[in-house]
Amino acid sequence: MSKPVVEVQVRAVVPTTGGCAVFVGNDEKVFVIYVDQTVGQAITMFMRGAQKERPLTHDLMANILMALGARIERIVINDLKRGTYFARMILSAENELHQRKVVEIDARPSDCIAMAAQQKAAIYVSREVWEEVDDMADVLRKMEEEGSSPGESEEEF
């Protein structure tokens, strides 16, 4: 049973005192998912295409997927319960007989977003979650106008 979804992109990643605020949305609405600092750093690095001294955990996961002939098709932020987001990573793999298999895996939205940023995979939000979240587009716009320029922060991780 698939739910209706809305396609979104990572609009900005902003360091906070407790981690990072990831602004996710489209032209219609933007909402925030708070993530720990290391995942926020990874998302920022993947978005910028930054080179790393050594592989991060998300690089390891990507290498394992590639070795198994799998790739991330898309991620879906599919639920919101008591302020906590839930997500699914949809993988596609093809075996040596060219038979395709699709697998859905429960995962933290933060890891899903990091992997999607790294793999250039589509990000979706279920319509149900989309309608529940508060629109933070004005907050993001105000930050950009004030020169905070989220996602392009002068502060390096």
What digits encode the pLDDT tens for the residues 97-144?
Answer: 778 889 999 999 999 999 999 999 999 999 999 999 999 998 888 888
Per the listing, tokens 């996710």 go with 24
Neighbour-count burial for 86-96, b at 16+ CB within 10 Å, e otherwise: bbbbbbeeeee
Per residue in 134-149, pLDDT (tens digit) is 999 988 888 888 875 5
CA nearest to 22, candidates 145, 111, 93, 128:
111
Give the pTM. Answer: 0.85
CATH class of this structure's domain 5-145: alpha beta
